[in-house]
């Protein structure tokens, strides 16, 4: 099987990497807001209902937790019950 690689592939790949690196830097430094698609918006809207259903089913109270360390943050679930 022959793989066809366009002659400008290396240049295209270098440009793509630079673009992604720049977008990531903008997100991490707050210069760009994350793009929210329909699925993400729906998940955010349904999160309170999902948490309430989980709490009713298991009896475990969920407390949303976001840890921040400098430019990094993480949203954590109630890890002691996993």
Per-residue pLDDT tens for 66-79? Answer: 777 777 767 665 55
Residue 79: per-residue pLDDT: 55
What digits encode the pLDDT tens for the residues 36-62? 899 999 998 998 999 899 999 999 988
- Domain membership flag for residue 2: no
| Gap between the terminal Cα atoms of the chain | 47
- Domain membership flag for residue 61: yes
The chain-wide mean pLDDT, for the chain, equals: 84
Q: Which of 69, 65, 55, 33 is nearest to 79 (CA)?
A: 65
- Provide the residue range defining the domain that includes 77: 9-81
pTM greater than 0.85 (yes/no): no
- Domain membership flag for residue 3: no
Residue 56: per-residue pLDDT: 96
Query: What stretches of 1-82 show up as alpha helix (H) in DSSP?
Result: 9-28, 38-58
d(CA 34, CA 23): 10
Number of domains in the chain: 1
Q: How confident is the model at residue 82 (pLDDT cuts 50, 70, 90)?
A: very low
- Domain membership flag for residue 35: yes
How confident is the model over 17-45, as a mean pLDDT? 92
- Domain membership flag for residue 27: yes
């Amino acid at each position: 099987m022959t793989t066809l690689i366009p002659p400008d592939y290396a240049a295209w790949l270098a440009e793509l990497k630079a673009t992604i690196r720049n977008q990531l830097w903008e997100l991490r430094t707050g210069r760009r807001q994350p793009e929210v698609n329909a699925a993400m918006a729906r998940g955010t809207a349904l999160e309170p209902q999902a948490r309430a259903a989980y709490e009713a089913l298991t009896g475990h109270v969920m407390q949303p937790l976001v840890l921040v360390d400098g430019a990094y943050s993480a949203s954590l679930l109630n890890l002691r019950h996993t």
